[in-house]
Every structure is written in C-alpha cells, then in structure tokens.
C-alpha cells in the first residue's frame, strides 16, 4: 500500500507498506529523510533525493515519465534503503490482460549488481502508460508475476 499526494511534479509518497517481503517507509519531505524498515527488522534512516518514489508509486512514475518524454530512471526508497532504478525499452508487444490482447510497451530494469533482482514492466500504450503486467524476481529468488484482470480508464484525463 502506498499513500501520498499529487503535486505539479508528480506523485509525492508519504508512506509505503509492503507485504512480501515485509517493508515500511515513512517519508519526511521537509527534512528530506525517510525512516524505513525491511524484512530484517532493522530501522534505517534514508536521505532522500527530490522525486524519490516508493515501490508502488514508482511504477506510475515510470509511465508518466514515458508520457512526458522524461528519462526512465528513478530513486526508490525501500525497507533496505535507497535504490537507483534505470529502465530500458525492450519494445512494443501485445500483452494479454483482462482476457484481451492490449498494445503495450515492454520495459526491463537495468541491473545494478548481482543482488538487484529482475523487474520487467508492460505498460499500456492506449491508456496513460498504466501497468498491465509486472514480472519480477527479487534478490532472494522470490518470483512475482501480476497481470491486470480489468482495465478501466473512466474519469482519467
């Protein structure tokens, strides 16, 4: 779960709570600091860079970066600290989501070292670059493969 605000510069996360692995991050934008706790239970104090996202808001941020012609990189605050993620464009594909093939843009996170894991995103080309599929393998080898079951754009402008 991610909660926060929307500003002229995009999403401003305030709090993140992850389930697998357990993690939490609380953002203090006045002080440019975050308090985080990962699966090891050890609290951390993180110095934030402007525009830092959490794991969920970062997915939306990447889509908005595409929409507005910005770079496909971001800083993500996790329970273990701050991670720099850079995404490369794999190409345009047809992705099965909600029982229908949807035009999508396939992105892959560039690895930052041997323990950084794998993350691939498929974002819809016909609707705001929202995630259609998220596939990942974390540094511990746990796999994630989530696909949208229903796609609605009602009320989005």
Tens-place pLDDT, residues 23-69: 899 999 999 999 998 878 888 899 999 899 998 899 888 888 888 88
Nearest-CA neighbor of 114 among 134, 140, 87?
A: 140
Specify the number of domains making up the chain. 1
Strand intervals (E) in 2-155? 2-7, 10-18, 23-28, 33-37, 43-47, 73-78, 81-97, 100-110, 118-124, 131-137, 143-147
Q: How confident is the model at residue 84 (pLDDT cuts 50, 70, 90)?
A: confident
pLDDT value of position 115: 53
123 within a domain of the structure (yes/no): yes
pLDDT value of position 41: 81
153 within a domain of the structure (yes/no): no
The percentage of the chain sitting over the pLDDT mark of 90, rounded to a whole number, equals 34
130 within a domain of the structure (yes/no): yes
pLDDT value of position 153: 60
pLDDT value of position 110: 83
Indicate the pTM of the whole model. Answer: 0.79
154 within a domain of the structure (yes/no): no
For β-strands 73-78 and 118-124, DSSP reports them as: unpaired
Q: Is 7's pLDDT higher than 60?
A: yes
Q: Is 6's pLDDT higher than 70?
A: yes
56 within a domain of the structure (yes/no): yes
Please give the residue range of the domain that contains residue 54.
2-147
Nearest-CA neighbor of 11 among 79, 63, 71, 47?
A: 63
Q: How confident is the model at residue 113 (pLDDT cuts 50, 70, 90)?
A: low
Average pLDDT over the chain, rounded to whole?
A: 85
Q: Is 155's pLDDT higher than 70?
A: no
Distance between CA atoms of residues 104 and 144, nearest Å: 19
Q: Is 114's pLDDT higher than 60?
A: no
Comparing 16 with 22, the larger pLDDT belongs to 16
110 within a domain of the structure (yes/no): yes
């Amino acid at each position: 779960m991610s909660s926060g605000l929307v500003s002229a510069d995009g999403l401003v996360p305030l709090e993140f709570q992850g389930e697998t692995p357990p993690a939490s991050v609380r953002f203090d934008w006045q002080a440019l600091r975050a308090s985080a706790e990962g699966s090891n239970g050890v609290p951390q104090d993180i110095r934030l860079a402007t525009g830092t996202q959490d794991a969920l808001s970062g997915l939306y941020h990447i889509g908005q970066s595409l929409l507005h012609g910005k770079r496909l990189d971001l800083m993500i605050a996790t329970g273990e600290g701050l991670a720099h993620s850079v995404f490369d464009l794999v190409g345009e594909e047809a992705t099965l989501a909600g029982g229908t093939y949807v035009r999508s843009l396939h992105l892959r996170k560039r690895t930052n070292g041997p323990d950084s894991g794998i993350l691939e995103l498929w974002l819809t080309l016909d609707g705001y670059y929202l995630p259609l599929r998220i596939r990942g393998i974390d540094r511990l080898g746990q796999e994630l493969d989530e696909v949208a079951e229903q796609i609605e754009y009602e009320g989005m402008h």
